[in-house]
Structure 1
């Protein structure tokens, strides 16, 4: 019977837990407001990006060829990646899309012989 009776100690414990949770919640709001005050302000509507005068940019599909890697003479040391320039690409003369060979799945490990 004694265990079933309401205890003032249990009520005090629940009250302290509730106050602790409220303190954590208030601390979270305070910390969030502090972090937001240190952030840069949101851009104004006039600072937002604008469309170019000619309208939205459209996708361009084209096949491109990479530039040739410079060849070195026999006996010279190989070039390091730092000695190579930014390898640009140029539009390919043939704009036909490359296709997989017939009878090949076209994927790595697909089981076919590949393009021979």
Structure 2
């Protein structure tokens, strides 16, 4: 058995654990510094607003939500089935209020 190769490998591996310890200390130092820096930044920030500085409701009361169902515009069809429509051909397609807004179906919102 050739034992000349063994001592040279062992000599190269003695620096491995030291590198791991140095990297661990470096990571620990970076984490400690980041916590210290975060505490320093928090102290420099202004305090949160006091209760009397908070926004209040308008004199008219809270704003109410308006619910309505919208009906989309139809998408134009291409002249030839192999053609494709580009955005400028489709144009701006805003929706509009539903024509029959008095429908009391299962999907209709409750009336207020």
Whose helix fraction is larger, Structure 1's or Structure 2's? 2
What TM-score do you get using the length of structure 1 for normalisation? 0.44
Higher relative contact order structure (alpha carbons within 8 Å, sequence separation ≥ 6): 2
